[in-house]
Structure 1
Amino acid sequence: MKKTILAIAIPALFATGATNAQEIYNDGENAFSIGGRLNLMVESANNEGERDLRSENNSSRINLNFSRKMSENVTARATMEYGLDNPNGNSDSPFFNRLGFIAVDHADYGSVSYGKQWSTYYTITGVTDVFWVYGGTAMGIYDNGDKAGTARANDALQYNGSFGGVNLSGQYQFADEDEGRKDSYSGAVSYDFDFGLNVGATYHQMNRTDAEKSEVFNDGDAKLTALAASYNQGPIYAAVSYGEFKNHVQFEGATGVSDKAIGHEGVFAYTLDMGLQLYTGWNVQEDKNSSADLKTALVGAMYDWNNVLLYTEYQDETTKSVSGAKEDDNRLAVGVRYNF
């Protein structure tokens, strides 16, 4: 059985650095590797009605990976990943935790993991969250501070397995009153076709505490349902995702989260032999109970120079509040990412 991770579904140049790591030690039983990236960019953006040019950190990070062979078919591993806060400036707290989990993998039966990890919901919806700078705004992944556990889920117990092209994932998230969560659970299934197509579906539900319901001005629990498909063949990568969200998304000008919203994302990329990648896509999210929405168009290019990535990306975003007021936000970023 092959162990499936999200990076496998993403073309090499999109995934560069996602699993990039240098092995430091391996005695045949124990192994240790370190990886990550320093990712800096210059961004031109609107700031209170005026164009502003600034230097930004674009999700720099460092990860530590450990593994131990327990038997012929069983391997235990642990991952710790820390984000770097403002690595090109001053910071009182330069690190924050992104991931921290322990997993046990079986060659035939799959993997069980526990800790802070990428969510079951993300194994499906992450196929369109692949832009180098922007994106990831329409599928409810990062909404509401990720309290629901739809991105990097805290305190999560998870199972992942692949059987003859069928990929299964299940997750349970334990209670955390500080996050407003009684608990959450999710499931996902996808299928890999031989010609590069993957299709999948997922459901995620977060059961809120009474205090959290008061905080988001909504008595319901968060419920997300999503479908996604991706195609990866040769130089072409294309993906689309669609989701329906109950009591989860908050729109501009709203006092609380929406009773019902929908979202969809898409991306198309073509990678030339020389290492140049050209891509475009969109993110759209709509409130079904008002005219509020979020519409984003993206276009960009990236050049892989021996694992030093040079990229530029443009975002044209229009936000409509619940009152119907519109606001435009267009941004241009030019950056460099050093993978190690």
Structure 2
Amino acid sequence: MNKKFLAVAIAASTFAAQAVAVELYNNDGTTFAMGGHVSVNLNGSEQGDTDVGTNSPRINFTATQDLGNGFVVDARGEYALNYLTNGGNAMSTRLGYVGLTHEELGRTVVGTQWAPYYDVAGVTDMPIAFANDYLYAGADFAKVGLTRADNMASYRNGFDLGDAGALNVGVAWQGATEGEVYAEYKDRVQATLSYEIMGASVGYAYSTGDVADSGSKGSLDLHTVSASYGSYGNGLYLAGVYTMTEDKNVVRAESDSYELLAAYALANSLNFSINYETNEAKDLIDNSKATTREELALQAEYNFASNIVGYTGYQFDLNDKDFSGAKQDTDSKWVIGARFYL
């Protein structure tokens, strides 16, 4: 198994740009750590007032146990922090899983987790302020399992090919569940394959399963291909993602989404990036296509300390027409803030 893959899988299970955790206990093969981050920012837009906001704050607790014979079990609970509002739920669940990892046999995870699909699709989801909005679109993104995935059982393995690079594979299953976008999501499965060599990577991910609503049922299929070069936050980083969605149960049956990211970090940690995202949907009735999302963002991040990052960005809304082609107002956004890693 690819040892780098093993370390990343246990420590983070995600493409987080910066992962910081405090180890609270380490004795006789047992560890316990706390991590996460909190952030505050000022944000506004063309059509909205300036206000105080957050950027996905969370706290997590991770425990590991060395079982011997190369096996390590780990458990993580992660919770979103709702600390800017008075009343309501102070925390809500983001992740909750148990994993079993072996250097040769791979890694199995059961629970709410980062999906194998995101291993491929998340290569552009790096900047703090703006990135990969289409992956999180809709109330049911965790039930489809493209980023965080509810009620998932997954398996990953990585194979170190020496000078020929490394090969990573992943498969996952989600059981049937109720949703908000659709009345019900039937069993879903996904599979991923990626290849890394000399700092570059290419990957493919596929997700499929039926959805049901108003007495009808049809498959919701997604295909993603991605490519990246470098390491985000360390010199030059380039990445691109393309996703094709085929929805057999709605009027707009097909859509194509693209995300491109270019970033360059200086030696003093100042990281500049530019990313472009667009989505095109096809109407099933007349096969017409229209742009439903088109955005370009300029961003910068700077490490004031090893665990404190300042960030700012401006996202240009380039989509000035609705699905019918009629003129619509744009809503460009800006943000400036700081993130403190626990």
Percent of paired sites with the same residue: 27
CA–CA distance in structure 1, aligned partners of residues 205 and 322 of structure 2: 29
1:222 positional shift: 0.9
Does residue 37 in structure 1 map to residue 37 in structure 2? yes
Residue of structure 1 in register with 2:88 after alignment: 92
Does residue 191 in structure 1 map to residue 195 in structure 2? yes
Question: With structure 1 as the length reference, what TM-score do the two structures score?
Answer: 0.88
Q: Are the equivalent residues in 1 in contact too, given 2:210–2:217 (CA < 8 A)?
A: no
Matched letter for residue 91 of structure 2: F
Q: Are the equivalent residues in 1 in contact too, given 2:260–2:275 (CA < 8 A)?
A: yes
What SS class does the counterpart of residue 186 from structure 1 fall into? strand
Question: Which shows bigger deviation, 240-249 or 93-102?
Answer: 240-249
CA–CA distance in structure 1, aligned partners of residues 14 and 91 of structure 2: 29
1:206 positional shift: 2.6
Residue of structure 2 in register with 1:225 after alignment: 223
Question: With structure 2 as the length reference, what TM-score do the two structures score?
Answer: 0.87
1:277 positional shift: 0.5
Q: Are the equivalent residues in 2 in contact too, given 1:143–1:248 (CA < 8 A)?
A: no
1:321 positional shift: 2.5
CA–CA distance in structure 1, aligned partners of residues 248 and 131 of structure 2: 18
Residue of structure 2 in register with 1:60 after alignment: 57
Residue of structure 2 in register with 1:297 after alignment: 296
CA–CA distance in structure 2, aligned partners of residues 228 and 248 of structure 1: 24
Instruction: Report 1:159-198 matches (<5 A).
Output: 159-164=155-160, 165-178=166-179, 180-193=184-197, 195-198=198-201
Residue of structure 2 in register with 1:321 after alignment: 322
Q: Are the equivalent residues in 2 in contact too, given 1:292–1:323 (CA < 8 A)?
A: no
Please give the per-residue CA displacement for 1:259-310, whole angstroms capped at 9, x wherever unaligned.
0110110111100111111110101100133324210001110110112111
Please give the per-residue CA displacement for 1:8-56, whole angstroms capped at 9, x wherever unaligned.
996xxx711xx31110001032110000111111002134xxx511000
Please give the per-residue CA displacement for 1:167-191, whole angstroms capped at 9, x wherever unaligned.
0110000111356111100000001
RMSD: 2.2
Please give the per-residue CA displacement for 1:111-169, whole angstroms capped at 9, x wherever unaligned.
0010000112111000011121122124x454452131222111100001100200011
CA–CA distance in structure 2, aligned partners of residues 207 and 9 of structure 1: 27
Does residue 203 in structure 1 map to residue 206 in structure 2? yes
- Structure 1: which 5+ runs fail to align? 250-255
Instruction: Report 1:1-340 matches (<5 A).
Output: 1=1, 2=3, 4=5, 5=8, 15-16=17-18, 19-47=19-47, 51-85=48-82, 87-138=83-134, 140-146=135-141, 147-164=143-160, 165-178=166-179, 180-193=184-197, 195-209=198-212, 213-214=213-214, 219-232=217-230, 234-247=234-247, 256=250, 258-289=252-283, 290-306=289-305, 307-319=307-319, 320-325=321-326, 326-340=328-342
Aligned residues: 318
Q: Are the equivalent residues in 1 in contact too, given 2:278–2:291 (CA < 8 A)?
A: no
Quick one: structure 1 residues 141 and 44, their matched pair in 2 at CA, closer, same or farther if it must change by over 3 Å? closer
CA–CA distance in structure 1, aligned partners of residues 291 and 248 of structure 2: 14
CA–CA distance in structure 2, aligned partners of residues 142 and 118 of structure 1: 16
CA–CA distance in structure 2, aligned partners of residues 293 and 177 of structure 1: 26
What SS class does the counterpart of residue 131 from structure 2 fall into? coil
What SS class does the counterpart of residue 68 from structure 2 fall into? coil
